Structure 1
Amino acid sequence: MFEKTPFIIAELSGNHEQDFELAKAMIQAAAYAGVDAIKLQTYTPDTMTLDIRQGEFMVSESDSLWRGSNLYDLYAKASTPWEWHKPLFELAESLGLVAFSSPFDLSAVAFLETLNVPMYKIASFEMTDIPLIQAVARTGKPIIMSTGMATLDEIEEAVAAIRAIGDNPLTLLKCTSTYPARIEDSNLVTMADLATHTGCSVGLSDHTQGLGAAVAATALGATVIEKHFVLDRSAGGVDAAFSMEPAEMKALVDACRAAKAALGSVTYGGSDAEQAAKKYRRSIYVAVDLPAGTVLTEDHLKIIRPSFGLAPKHWPDVVGKTLSVAVQKGQPLAWDMMA
């Protein structure tokens, strides 16, 4: 599905602060950082919620970054204007990036299809929206889906909804849907279990602060890493608190690439690069000058580096042997020296 893995996505979310020039600068900085893709979110406040300013339409959680916000106003602030999508996608593509989005309702899917996006992302809070998932599946395009706080039954139901329509390439992302997420809540070992249950490739949508979870996920086989992106955390942005700045994103990209390279393949006996070093193993050498006919004792021999003599395992076999030739200190011991 991806030319290289992990496929690293910079999520712009609402960190552009409704500034088109800032959104463009973010894409340029993400490209410089070495990511593979840029992802937008396609919604309006009206496609997300109702304009009601009380009760459950207010963010009330005490530990939320957005405590006290009205949902409608929050989504209005965080949304990416639909007229920006085409020029932002074109900019990303001109920089060699894959550009796509998360739709949040059916109208967003229809709109993104007019832009011929190459793939889709289903956000973790939308993965129980089966009609939305079915609409995305009907495009026939690859799907990346965050699992967030979903149960295994809910995940399997969403996967089944896709599979009932087509064989879209599908990647499921382990995701902790708190903002920011605690590193100890990542539970990355779930990825392997998720792959076993669904037969899908897996990855990580990472809301932790820092790059540790992403690197660990890469080492555990993640094919996708998604991370929120911001130019300057101190300047603000709805997701700034758990987003990476350009230098941090570059460090994440480099670390994940290194982690993937380090995985390699099952190898015994040393890599090609190690073969020359084998001469520095230990072996049995003559430690003193000796005439022919000498019966070898432990005082005559020494196990040292390098490895041009007999292997140390032969020590019990050579002690007590008789030399058939004279030998000098520093000669590697060989079978043809002994009677």
Structure 2
Amino acid sequence: MTIDIDGRTIGPGHAPYIIAELSANHNGNIDTALKIIEEAKKAGADAIKLQTYRPDTITLDSDLPDFQIMEGLWEGRTLYELYEWAHTPWEWHQALFDHARKLGITIFSSPFDNTAVDFLEELGAPAYKIASFEAVDLSLIEYVAKTGKPMIISTGMADADEIQEAIDAAQGAGCKQLAILHCVSGYPAPAEDYNLRTITDMVERFGLVTGLSDHTIDNTTAITSVALGASLIEKHFTLDRNGGGPDDSFSLEPAELTALCRDSKTAWHALGKVDYGRKSSEQGNVQFRRSLYFVKNLKAGELITKDSVRSVRPGYGLPPKHLADIIGRRVTSDVSIHSAVTENVIN
């Protein structure tokens, strides 16, 4: 149960794959977008992800109530105004792809209609992400699947039946490498909404590489998800959380992304495997475990009594579990107080 993106294997048994979501955090400046890619690479992210749409490919230019945003971060705008503000110009994409490839960081995108898929195919996108809001657009999923590229579907707002429908659409249209992301489509989302145990259920229920799209404002939720089976982690990324852009306020800054890349891998390494054996870092401390020591001088042939032996540190004598066995036995030679109890001095 793995997928491969741009030569990197993703799934159980492999370190978490970290995706830095550029989204709208360029704030209309291509130099900012290029800098975000550079900082994502420096932080240790495996991939940078774009969003590929134009306002007219994602919504209608209407100010009717259906198209107005009445609350939240973007209150007071129409959908068209929001996406005009937030979109990444298509004429930037080639430069962004070229820059990422030069730096050695994987770059791919979320397409929002078929024309975006066609455009990204021309750019040689190595994978595709289906955004949570598009997880119910089965025809888009099918169109992406026909590219033959790996696909990641985010599941925010989707119930179990809708997730299964999206999976069926992808696989039915030929997708052979599919991953899903547990997600809460709140911006930001409170940690308590994430119910991370769902990840374990998703792995068992759907049998796919599973990860987390995290909209909380720190790294705790994302790092915790690794212990529950998350193989991918996606977080929005910005140069400055106070930059004033559409997504800045719930995005990680460079130092935080660096910490996520480091700490998620530490969490994965710490999980390891079932192992009751003595670890390499413990070897030097075995001598400090408890063992049996004489607390009296005894002559050869003398009886060992309860008050002549104690369980103490260090660990050069017999293990404490043998205490009852040696009480009532005799020493074979003279023993000195504070010497270790060993087999060769006991009859």
Q: TM-score range by the shorter chain?
A: over 0.9
Determine the C-alpha separation between the residues in 1 that align with 2:278 and 2:196.
30
Residue 123 of structure 1 and its aligned partner are, at CA, apart by 0.2
One-letter amino acid of the structure 2 residue matched with residue 295 of structure 1: L
Q: Which residue of 1 aligns with 2:264?
A: 256
Residues 1:32 and 2:31 aligned together: no
What is the aligned counterpart of 1:247 among 255, 266, 286? 255
Q: Which residue of 2 aligns with 1:47?
A: 57
Is the CA contact 1:229–1:245 (under 8 Å) kept in the aligned structure 2?
yes
SS state at 1:38 partner: strand
Residues 1:181 and 2:189 aligned together: yes
Residue 330 of structure 1 and its aligned partner are, at CA, apart by 2.5
Q: What does 1:74-89 align with in structure 2 at a 5 Å threshold? A: 74-89=82-97
Is the CA contact 2:19–2:49 (under 8 Å) kept in the aligned structure 1?
yes
Q: What does 1:1-339 align with in structure 2 at a 5 Å threshold? A: 1=3, 2-3=8-9, 4-61=14-71, 64-339=72-347
Residue 269 of structure 1 and its aligned partner are, at CA, apart by 2.4
Determine the C-alpha separation between the residues in 1 that align with 2:320 and 2:175.
59
Residue 177 of structure 1 and its aligned partner are, at CA, apart by 0.4
Gaps of 5+ in 2: none
Residue 167 of structure 1 and its aligned partner are, at CA, apart by 4.2
One-letter amino acid of the structure 2 residue matched with residue 289 of structure 1: N
Determine the C-alpha separation between the residues in 1 that align with 2:215 and 2:243.
19
Aligned length: 337
Determine the C-alpha separation between the residues in 2 that align with 1:37 and 1:326.
71
Is the CA contact 1:7–1:36 (under 8 Å) kept in the aligned structure 2?
yes
Gaps of 5+ in 1: none
One-letter amino acid of the structure 1 residue matched with residue 306 of structure 2: E
Residue 96 of structure 1 and its aligned partner are, at CA, apart by 1.5
- Write the deviation string for residues 216-257 of structure 1: whole angstroms up to 9, x where unpaired: 011212111000011111221100111011111111111111
Is the CA contact 1:230–1:237 (under 8 Å) kept in the aligned structure 2?
no
Deviating 4+ runs (over 6 angstroms): none
One-letter amino acid of the structure 1 residue matched with residue 161 of structure 2: D
Is the CA contact 1:293–1:323 (under 8 Å) kept in the aligned structure 2?
yes
Query: Among the aligned pairs, what percent are the same residue?
Result: 48
The RMSD of aligned alpha carbons is 1.1
Is the CA contact 1:206–1:213 (under 8 Å) kept in the aligned structure 2?
yes
